[in-house]
Every structure is written in structure tokens, then in C-alpha cells.
Amino acid sequence: MPGLPAGVGLTALSMAFERCAESRRPDRLFEDRFAVVLTEHVKGTLRMMGTPGGGVAGDTWAFLREFVALRTRFFDDTMLTASLDCPQVVLLGAGMDSRAYRLAWPAGREVYEVDRGDVLRFKDGIAARMGDEPRCGHTQVEADIRGDWPGALRAAGFDPWRPTVWSAEGLLPYLSAAENNHLLSRITAMSANGSRLVADHFDRALELSAEFTEMAEVLCAAGASWRSTLDDPESWLGRHGWTCRTTDPAALGRLAGRELSPLFHPDSTGGGHMWLVSAGR
């Protein structure tokens, strides 16, 4: 099996560790067998990132655990609903996303995973250990999100004239504002009418919090860093021709019986916005 991917690949592993923890709860919001198999294979690896528990929700960053679970379920539900009208799904910066294997996609859906080759090869090794088959058409696209991923996606069979569900989960913070504008322009150019976009980001207030400052230091030591914030997702997406709706993670938490850290309550001292976004055009 290929070695562990570096840099941003380690953040993808860390998120998978948290999905594993959620999958083992009796009141879990989802089940991710891929994340469980991955965790068993590489347990302890992320201690190099300064997280005693192996994932981002060690003793220092426990505030993030419930949010990761709620975000995953939000993306699951939003993407599945959107896929009823969109035959293509594109996971940008797919990382350790296992939705091709674990979600009950409508018949005839094709899921494209776009990420670096080292990440996808490592992921293939874990999938082989798991032994499950994808529950949809499944195409991996080796491309850097800052490179010519649109060309690679089209070469892999993607049809820009068909409606698409685009997923940018945990991606936008690692791109600069200019890079995010370029990314969204490319997505828009390849989106037929009826396409949907699901994404997340956080505002400047969260970035300045003590918890996020500490997290940024650990990520930087692991070769990854945040490069942007987003204070008004509706205006940003609107300028590119998308109609946007934001969902409050704290409201999702109340519905699920999960209590989020005060950090995710914008009206609380030191709190800010963690945006969960769904958009259409």
C-alpha cells in the first residue's frame, strides 16, 4: 500500500478519524466503514500533528468533533437530495471522502473524485482492505485543484452539459481568496442549469479565536495552512450567478441532539460563523 500522503492529505486523514469516531457511537449520525478501516490501518499516525487522540478532536481540539459529524451529515443529505436531479457528482479535493461507497445514490449516478495522485492511490489501498464496491459509477481524476482539473475531469468522461452536484468539503479555507474566485469561476463554467454546489468555510472572527489559532499552528507544522476566510458567502456566490442558502450548524446540532461549542454561536463571546452552504443555478 502507498505511504501516507503529505500536507493537505494529512488533514483529510484527520477528518476520516473523526468520522470513524462518529461511526462507533450508538447514536451515530452516519456510518463510515471506510473511515473505520482507515483508522485501524494508520492509528497513531497523526500524533505527529500534536493531537493526542490521533485526530483533530484530541484533548486540545475536542470542540471540533461534533461539528465534523454534523457537517458530514449535512453534505450527505444535501448531495443525495440534489443528485435526484443531477446525474453527475464531483468531489473536489476528495481526500478520504467515501460517499461513493456508503451513500445510496440514485441509479445511473457517476461520482468523480478529484485529488492528487498520491491521495487517490492511498485511498485505493484502503478501499481494497474494506472490500466494498462503489454504490454508483465511480471515476477517480488525478489533478491538483490549482492545476488543470477541468481538463482532466472532461477527459475522464465528465459532461458539462449535464447538471452536476459539486462538493467542496473542507477545501475553500486552504485556498486564497483569489484561488477560490478562480475555482468558482471554473465550476460555474462547467455547470449546466440545475447544477448544485455544497461547500463550507468560516469567517474572520473564527479564524481569530484562540482555538482556531492553535489549530492553524498544528496544521502549518504538518505542511498545510489556511489561506482565506469568507464573511459573506451569499454575496460571493451571487456574483458568480449562484443562489445561495446557508445553514446554521448550531441549529443542526439542536435537531440532532448535539451540543456544539459556543465557538460556533456567532453571538457568543469569541464565536463566529462556520458556513454550511448549498447553492444552485
CATH number of the domain to which 139 belongs: 3.40.50.150
pLDDT confidence of residue 2:
65
Count of structural domains within the chain = 1
Is residue 30 situated within a structural domain?
A: yes
pLDDT confidence of residue 44:
61
Is residue 1 situated within a structural domain?
A: no
Is residue 62 situated within a structural domain?
A: yes
pLDDT confidence of residue 169:
98
Full-model pTM: 0.93
DSSP β-ladder status, 274-280 and 196-202:
antiparallel
**How far is it, in rounded angstroms, from Cα 265 to Cα 279?**
22
Mean pLDDT by 10 residues, the chain (281 residues): 65 86 96 95 61 45 86 99 99 97 98 95 93 97 97 99 98 97 99 99 94 83 87 98 97 95 86 96 96
pLDDT confidence of residue 268:
83
Q: Which long-range contacts (CB under 8 A, 24 or more apart) does 101-105 make?
A: 101/33, 101/34, 101/127, 101/130, 101/132, 101/133, 101/134, 101/135, 102/30, 102/31, 102/32, 102/33, 102/34, 102/135, 103/76, 103/79, 103/135, 103/136, 104/80, 104/135, 105/80, 105/135, 105/136
Is residue 3 situated within a structural domain?
A: no
Domain assignment of residue 221, given as a range: 8-280
